[in-house]
A and B are shown apart, each in its own frame.
Chain A
Amino acid sequence: MTSLWEDLRYAARLLARQPAFTAAVVLLLALGIGANAAIFSLVDSVLLRPLPYRDLDRLYYVWMRDNVHGRPPALLSVAELLDFNGQVRSLSHFAGLLHQPVTVTRGSEPERVVGAFVSKTYFDTLGIPIHRGRPFLPEEYQPGRNQAVLLTDSFWQNQLGGDPSVVGRILRIDSEIHTVVGILPPMEAETRGADLYLPLPFTPELLAARDGRVVTALARLAPGATEQQAAAELRAASLRVAAAHPASNDGIEAVLTPVMDDVRGSAGQPLAVLAAAVGIVLLVACANLAGLLLVRASGRRKEIAVRSALGASQGRIFRQMITESMLLALLGGAAGIAVAAWSVRAIRNWGVLALPRLELASIGVRALVFTALVSLAAGVLFGSAPALQALRLNLASALNEESRGSSGGRARGLTRSILVVAEVALSVILLVSAGLLLRTYSGLTRLDLGFDPSRVLTMRVVLPAALYADDPSRALFLRRVVSRLNSLPGVAAAGGAAVLPMTSANWRCQFAVDGSDASSPESADYNAVDPSYFDSIGARILSGRPFSDTDTGAAPPVVIVSQSLANRYYPRQDAVGRSLTLHLIGHSQRVTIVGVVRDMALKTPEETPRPILYQPHAQQPWRFIHFTIRASGADPASLATAARRAVHEIDSQVPLDRVQPFSALIGRVLSSRQLAMVLLIAFAALAVLLAAVGLYGVLAVAVAHRSREFGIRMALGARPADVLALVFKDGLGLTAAGLAAGFAAAPLATYALRQMLYGVTFLDPLTFATVAALILAISAAACLLPARRAARVDPSTALRE
């Protein structure tokens, strides 16, 4: 132990005596290790950190899958929640949750918050205890007696200052009085993002709407039960439900998916790519450092020889060398923590990100332990080659060597060259991956969405149910606000819609075209829009007419359909003028198609066009309204203040939120790919820089070593350009070897990326060619300085040395 301490002390002294070298190495390691620590903390918060639920691995979502039409799995209706509850013995708990924005009014300021309406067993299902107060009472789930609310810890802390006396007090929610009955415990990593929990009362209307599938269902496996058993029982129960309610449930089956799968979601692949990328960056950094330390170890041959001559065993020499590397690695790791903390903060603050639980990413104990382990592994990695080199020393010749700072022989030169080839190869892999993502992202941002989101400002209003209880009042509100917005200076067109493209909203309806089987309706995406909505977002009516102010609740029901719906159900015919039966929230009505609008991308820019059905808002006036305001100038954000004022001029009690340009919505959809792309580009740039420095180092040492040879060549008639060419040949030879190795390995990496690519193949020749050109250009730049130094060798001086 004493000798270890002495090795450590000696290592510290050596490093302190070479502050520039130490600083350079620590900086290099800080970047490499810091990037790894930062990505680990993202992975940890997004993928690894468990949700605050009991026995998470036994918790499942339940979805309704339409086996007949092959539609995406849907939520459950309230009636289905009741149907399945208690029918499946392998599920000990079955609960539902319905997200709905609510307005909390404290003082005169209405505030929009996220409410979660939950069924009786919800908190038991998840295993969430009530922190203060009590859970909802059974009678509080009855319609009309449901004026109770449970607060989340974050709402209680942030909005009510953590005042414990709030339990039992009154809170005005959606203009109704509610009693705060309790407060939930702090739930870090909770995914629902709710501020308040309210009882979900089973009203006759909700129970009647069997196909109004709006409830997220959660179930817990019973002790000893397996997922397969539960799935089989659910299938059997689905058949019973379908037999009892063929109109709504024929061919529809309840299926399970683990909650954990949903938690990982789409973030898994980008994060896996980034984790691999930072691993590669660290490998490049280690290869670079190994090369640097090999040169340094060459300068210490005599010291090592003297120590051996004084009785040091090979083990002690190895330990001393590796101790120095470990100390460097730990210093690099410590600085890396600072780099990681800064990076995590920067990534977290990156406005357009949509990774779940990203806000929880921080450098905590787990990240610190990870950093320490990575640092030690890096120390072993870059320290081993120089340490082993020290053991292969010829003691007698090293002790007799008079020349100092010798760079070592051919073997060491070869090792350093191999390290540089590896660095170039690893950089090529990163560059090609980054290039493919860049091409994908660039392609996605240039895709035709079917509408023009530029210069459009969006904002959301959810009308309080108590104030806007009837359809005419909601329709009037929208009409008046749109009219007011259209009169604002700088506004080219303004409109309103129930949902916006590029949001996670998933509104569906069912319909039956004339002549089809009415008992098996088709489904489509759904929206309710005002007459100027299409105009405001630049969507084109292809045939027929847009909605007009005369399409009111009193007028005959009409719809506009998307181009793909028209093509699919009315092939080679004009859809305009045709009728269909629209099924929506338990009601059916005959509607006439008055127009066909161009297809629009709803969820992602690259999706295949979906059938969409649009209703006039005036004929189905939802409480959820998104306004779309196209600016005549370039900056839609400049309209925000005037637009807010315009809404509040109509009703000052209505809360407004999500005021943002349309481009921000698209940015959010692309954010995980953008994150992966930007970070991959940064990591690739770092790797290339390191490889260039490594190449420079190898050439600089080689030039110093060969100055006598260059002197002789020049004395024999070589021109400076000939010597220059010699060095370039060496440097570009190493680069070419690295390129070849990188191109051989890159397809393996890019093949793994292919799910994140769009519009470009994983073997895209343009990307590969560009990377080759870039690497060669950077390598040539790295060769330039040593080559010039070689060309300036003075033959008379070099030959005297």
Chain B
Amino acid sequence: MKSMISLRNVDKYFQQGPERFYVLRRVTLDIKPGEFVAVMGPSGAGKSTLLHVLGMHDTAWSGEYLFLDQPIHQLDRKKRLEIYKKYFGFVFQSYHLLDDLTVAENLDVPLSYRDIKKSERQAIVADILDRFRIVGKKDLFPSQLSGGQQQLVGVARAIVANPKIILADEPTGNLHSSQGAEIMEMFKQLNEEGATIVMVTHSETNAAYAHRIVRIVDGWIEQQ
């Protein structure tokens, strides 16, 4: 099967005086559609940096990045944003819900950036609320939810625009184990429904949900 994501010799470094401090070093990685990949490694190894490179949040790197055969490394900001909006969803460790918006409004935000009609958006949000069984919480603000509930909303928000790939940065890092398990079950279900998932995690338990584990140390990917 052709790769969905293909990284070739990706380097990322910070210049510190005359020295270069590498965060990612000659990273070469292929991810196929429908894969569930866990990225593991010690703190500061470059896991989150890799995820942000994949998610195009970070553009200061060198090397090649093909996404569905499109050369991301050659595209301008606008084209990259188009691809990102069409295919990607992102789940953050600390949820990053917008404090001033209700649950339903938080779910609506990604849709509002994708030129979808208001009536259609309302239907999609209603469907997601139903699917995640959080209809009763739709008018609450993030501060009125538990950590697990917030991350549930975070995951719901990541998939609301029907992405083909979900990038998750330690999605259970701030949760109790039972809440974490619930979120991981949700990822598993989404993966079974066809979504590709790349998840950064410290937890072997969570990594066990993945089809494949990519280990990263000091910016280098270990041989798989």
Contact = CB atoms under 8 A, between A and B. Distances in A.
Contacts of A346: none
Contact of A395 (B57, B98, B112, B113): B57
B161 interface: yes
Contact of B85 (A302, A311, A395): A311
A312 interface: yes
Interface stretch (B1-9, B47-55, B213-221): B47-55
Interface residues of B, number: 28
B209 interface: no
A399 B57 contact: yes
Interface string A301-332: 01101111111111010000000000000000
A400 B109 contact: no
Interface string B82-115: 0011000010101010111100000001101110
B17 to A, nearest CB: 18
B39 to A, nearest CB: 15
B52 A399 contact: yes
A305 B169 CA distance: 15
A722 interface: no
Interface stretch (A9-17, A424-432, A513-521): A9-17
Given A309-B55, A310-B110, A303 B98 contact: yes
B194 to A, nearest CB: 20
Given A10-B101, A310-B110, A313-B81, A396 B161 contact: no
B58 interface: yes
B100 A396 contact: no
A57 interface: no
B84 A311 contact: yes
Contacts of B77: 314
A302 B96 CA distance: 8
A574 interface: no
Interface string A378-397: 00000000000000000110
A6 B112 CA distance: 9
Contacts of A303: 98-99
Nearest to A13: B100
B113 A309 contact: no
A396 B113 contact: no
A3 interface: yes
Contacts of B161: 311
Contact of A306 (B48, B52, B85, B98): B98
A396 B84 contact: no
B84 A10 contact: no
Nearest to A302: B96
A2 interface: yes
Contacts of B84: 311
Nearest to B57: A395
A183 to B, nearest CB: 60
A395 B52 contact: yes
Kindly state the interface size class of chain A when it binds its partner.
20 to 34
B57 A309 contact: yes
Nearest to B84: A311
Q: Which of A311, A396, A399 has the most CB of B within 10 A?
A: A311
A48 to B, nearest CB: 44
Contacts of A314: 77
A397 to B, nearest CB: 9
Contacts of A402: 94
Interface string A1-38: 01100100010011001000000000000000000000
Interface string B55-92: 10110000000000000000001100100110000101
A327 to B, nearest CB: 14
B211 interface: no
Interface string B183-203: 000000000000000000000
A12 to B, nearest CB: 11
Contacts of B100: 10, 13-14, 17
A313 B94 CA distance: 23
Contact of A310 (B94, B109, B118): B109
A316 B113 contact: yes
A307 B97 CA distance: 10
Contacts of B98: 303, 306-307
Given A302-B96, A399-B96, A311 B110 contact: yes
A311 B48 contact: no
A307 B109 contact: yes
A311 B113 contact: yes
Interface string A758-777: 00000000000000000000
Contact of A309 (B48, B90, B101, B118): B90
* Most chain B CB neighbours (cut-off 10 Å) among A3, A17, A396: A396
Interface in A157-178: none
Contacts of A316: 113
Q: Which of A14, A17, A310, A402 has the most CB of B within 10 A?
A: A310
A302 B97 CA distance: 10
A312 B112 CA distance: 9
Nearest to B89: A310
Contact of B81 (A13, A17, A307, A311): A311
B59 to A, nearest CB: 9
B90 A310 contact: yes
B157 interface: yes
A652 to B, nearest CB: 76
B112 A3 contact: yes
A782 B2 CA distance: 65
A196 B31 CA distance: 95
B48 A312 contact: no
A474 to B, nearest CB: 82
Interface in A677-698: none
Interface in A306-363: 306-314, 316
B113 A312 contact: yes
Interface of A: 2-3, 6, 10, 13-14, 17, 302-303, 305-314, 316, 395-396, 399-400, 402
Interface of B: 48-49, 52, 55, 57-58, 77-78, 81, 84-85, 90, 92, 94, 96, 98-101, 109-110, 112-114, 117-118, 157, 161
CB-based closest 8 A-B pairs: A311-B113, A396-B52, A395-B57, A311-B85, A396-B58, A306-B96, A310-B110, A396-B57
Given A309-B57, A310-B90, A311-B85, 10 more contacts: A2-B117, A2-B118, A306-B96, A307-B113, A309-B90, A309-B92, A311-B81, A311-B161, A313-B113, A399-B57
12 contacts: A2-B118, A6-B112, A13-B100, A302-B96, A307-B98, A309-B55, A309-B90, A311-B81, A311-B84, A311-B110, A313-B113, A396-B52
